[in-house]
Amino acid sequence: MKFCPMCGMPQLKSGLTVCQFCNYKEKPIDELSKQEIYDLMASYEYKRIDDGVRIEAVKNIRDIALRGSVAIPHFVTEIAAGAFSHCKFLARIELPNGLRSIGEGAFTHCRDLFDVFIPVSVSYIGKGAFSDCYDLGVIRAEASAQPDGWDSEWLSDCSAKVEWSSTDED
């Protein structure tokens, strides 16, 4: 299931580029207006980097609590260390294809988090990225095995099982 990064509503078919609820249309970052970037990133502190955007932190944890499901915009390439830590009501996170890096402790203490799909583009995951995610039973990873760039303790204090070579199905 894919979620719209603008309104958070589920889209019926994975791969859609136009949301059927809010009409958000996925575009390359260079084609987004400043207002579109602001609207997509209103809940986050972010920094534009060489060839993408890094989410530095969640501005208002209440926004995440109200939505429950979060779709990271398609142009984000990095999630900083601790960016989503303590978002205790975050239940589902959709990571975009093209995401390269998940920082140390990025999702630590996200106690209601139960659904994560890690795209094959992620070449780095820091130590304890998903620590203390008590409801996380399974992490679906598109890679066939743990990439070399993932810290050996990326799942420390997390009992989730990793399903390798998964596909993001509806």
C-alpha pair distances (Å), 148 with each of 28, 45, 100, 126, 127: 29, 29, 13, 12, 13
For 46-93, the pLDDT digits (tens) are 788 887 889 998 877 666 655 677 888 888 999 999 999 988 888 888
- The answer to whether 3 and 11 have CB atoms below 8 angstroms apart is yes
Ordered structural domains, the chain, with CATH: 43-163 (3.80.10.10)
- Output the pTM of the full model: 0.76
* Model pLDDT, residue 40: 64
Residues 6+ apart with CB under 8 A from 152: none
The chain-wide mean pLDDT, for the chain, equals 82
- Residue 28 CA to residue 80 CA, distance in Å, equals 21
C-alpha pair distances (Å), 158 with each of 114, 132, 165: 12, 6, 20
- Residue 68 CA to residue 8 CA, distance in Å, equals 9
3-state DSSP assignment of residue 29: helix
- The answer to whether 103 and 82 have CB atoms below 8 angstroms apart is yes
Q: Is the predicted pLDDT of residue 15 greater than 60, yes or no?
A: no
Section 3-9 average pLDDT: 65
